[in-house]
Amino acid sequence: MSQITGQLHLSESDQEAIANLVMEKLVNRIDLINRRPDYMNRKEFMEYAGIKDKKCNELFHQTGFPVCYELGRPRVIMKEFDKWMLESYENRKQVNIPYPYSS
């Protein structure tokens, strides 16, 4: 890898290695999303989001966070959660999910 006049030049093998890595990450993420349930209960969501009890409470009481209640128990609506994540950097900072669109 060399840098000439502000441009980055990669060998063909480096380009292929990067493309393979990106493809692997995308395939893994797509597989995770396809296997993910439409709704997650509190415990499942905490594990998925990499957060603890206190942060989960904050999110569940935050205006605009996609949580609904089924028989009094909170459920995160995962498709709406994806939209919530896209809304702002501040939203993305609150969870520990390596989304492809995270900053």
Enumerate the domain spans of the chain.
2-33, 38-93
Work out the end-to-end distance of the chain between its first and last CA atoms, rounded to an integer number of angstroms.
25
97: nearest Cα among 36, 41, 38, 39: 36
Rounded CA separation 31/83 (Å): 18
The pTM of the full predicted model, rounded to 2 decimals, is 0.64
Q: Which residues contact 61 (CB under 8 A, 6 or more apart)?
A: none
Express each pLDDT in 70-94 by its tens digit: 899 999 999 999 899 889 888 888 8
Residue 78 tokens, joined: 């995962």
> pLDDT below 70 — which residues of the chain?
1-6, 98-103
CATH 1.10.10 for domain 38-93, yes or no, is: yes
